Structure 1
Amino acid sequence: MNTRLILCACLAASLSGCIHGGPRAYTRGTYEDPNTIEMLSDRFNENDLQLIAKKMAESLANSPRFAQPSPERLPIVLVGKLKNSTSEHIDMRSLGDKIQTALAQTGRFALVDQQSRTDIAEEYEYQQSGYVNPNEAKAPGQQVSVDFLMTGDLASIIQEVGNDKLVYYKMTAKLSNVRSGLIEWTDEKQIRKKFEKRTVGW
């Protein structure tokens, strides 16, 4: 008797699940403004990337060293290694690309891309392989020399007190003179976010 009751209860629960809905999926979406700030979680997000890139580009472009570059020759900058010292998985290459784009949009710098250098080196090898017209083939030795190398470090501090959680990020960037090794510029961007823990349920 107990077994029959259990089977009936399981069957009823199964039918109820079918009636009220099965597995859910995202089937409808809308475009959103990528500049709109929304904090859906306490993790590092695309808004943080944008804030850091904008801060670094504006700070560097307006610094006394680069505020009035020579129109005849723009300083050549390479955005190099950006270190992730947080406990999160953060796409530092994407951050570097955003900083590079923001610098290019200021119109005050000429940029060299680190990944493109590797791709160009491979292209040199192909053009020297005999498949390309020797009179048109490009060879190493003609690329420009980088004047400045940008490096950086992203760190974080997380504090949880009761139902409150504070997340603090600090991005420090430095621009080194490739010839002398001197740091020509440095700045930092701080981001502080507060979250409140709430009960989630039906």
Structure 2
Amino acid sequence: MRKLFAILALGCSLCMVACSSGGGKTVTRIDTNSTTDLSGKWNDTDSRLVADEMILSCLQSQKIEKIIGEMGRTPTVVIGKVRNKSHEHISVETFVKDMERALLNSGAADFVANSAERAELRSEVADQQGNATEETAKELHQETGADWMLTGTINTIVDQEGGQSVIFYQVDLELTDLQSHKKLWMGDKKIKKFISKDSVKL
């Protein structure tokens, strides 16, 4: 009987330790600007760094600087579609927001809401016409038209053998004049990642 009680007591003790340890799971908060690459796939660091570098490259190109100088004012840019043609599920919306932030923070250009956002804004302005006071209601047909549109694609090439793989990312962006449809700038950013582990699932 004593042995039985001893075994039960030991079992309860082990159960309490296991429960208190959370099943071996540890959560640690880290700096959101830190570089983390657990799976080797596209992540928040890639999105932020690519957006910053490509927007800077665009606005500092000699041709764009010359055009801005000839305009004599700050150009207005709208970000169009950025298509994910890669093999991964990539949050394109996050990448677009990173580009908008980089564009706005550069001070070299303004940007306006995209087509989906404009539809929601127009609905709100239209609703104000019959519901808001005359002093506060925003007028229709007073939007700022964009001068240029930025569009792009994200592509990948995967080379895999056994437990090793290489993922090649290429982001291509184009800046187009909305009046003439002329291509004003084209840029690309390449990222290559080598992944080595026992089992790679892509």
Contact 2:64 2:184 in 1 (8 A): no
**Structure 1 residue 15, shift from structure 2 partner:** 6.1
Q: Secondary structure at the match of 1:50?
A: helix
Does 2:156 match 1:156?
yes
Scaled by the length of structure 1, the TM-score of the pair is 0.82
Aligned twin of 2:128: 127
Over 3 Å counting, the alpha-carbon distance change for 1:142 and 1:26 in structure 2 is farther
Question: 1:83-162 maps to which residues of 2 (within 5 A)?
Answer: 83-114=83-114, 115-129=116-130, 131-162=131-162
CA RMSD of superposed structures (Å): 2.6
Looking at secondary structure, tell me which structure has more helix per residue: 2
Contact 2:126 2:140 in 1 (8 A): no
Aligned twin of 1:40: 38
AA partner of residue 151 (structure 2) = T
Over 3 Å counting, the alpha-carbon distance change for 1:136 and 1:16 in structure 2 is closer
CA distance in 2, matches of 1:67, 1:73: 11
Please list the CA deviations of residues 95-130 of structure 1 after superposition, one character each: whole Å capped at 9, or x if unmatched.
01101111111111011121442232121121112x
CA distance in 2, matches of 1:165, 1:183: 36
AA partner of residue 101 (structure 1) = R
Between the aligned residues of both structures, percent identity stands at 25
**Structure 1 residue 186, shift from structure 2 partner:** 0.6
Over 3 Å counting, the alpha-carbon distance change for 1:178 and 1:51 in structure 2 is same
Does 2:21 match 1:21?
no
Of 180-189 and 154-163, the range deviating more from structure 2: 154-163
Q: What runs of 5+ residues in structure 1 fail to find an aligned partner? A: 1-10
Q: Secondary structure at the match of 2:173?
A: strand
Q: Secondary structure at the match of 2:49?
A: helix
**Number of residues of Structure 1 aligned to a counterpart in Structure 2:** 187
CA distance in 1, matches of 2:163, 2:136: 67
CA distance in 2, matches of 1:44, 1:94: 12
CA distance in 2, matches of 1:17, 1:41: 33
CA distance in 1, matches of 2:118, 2:25: 40
Q: What runs of 5+ residues in structure 2 fail to find an aligned partner? A: 1-7
Scaled by the length of structure 2, the TM-score of the pair is 0.82
AA partner of residue 191 (structure 1) = I
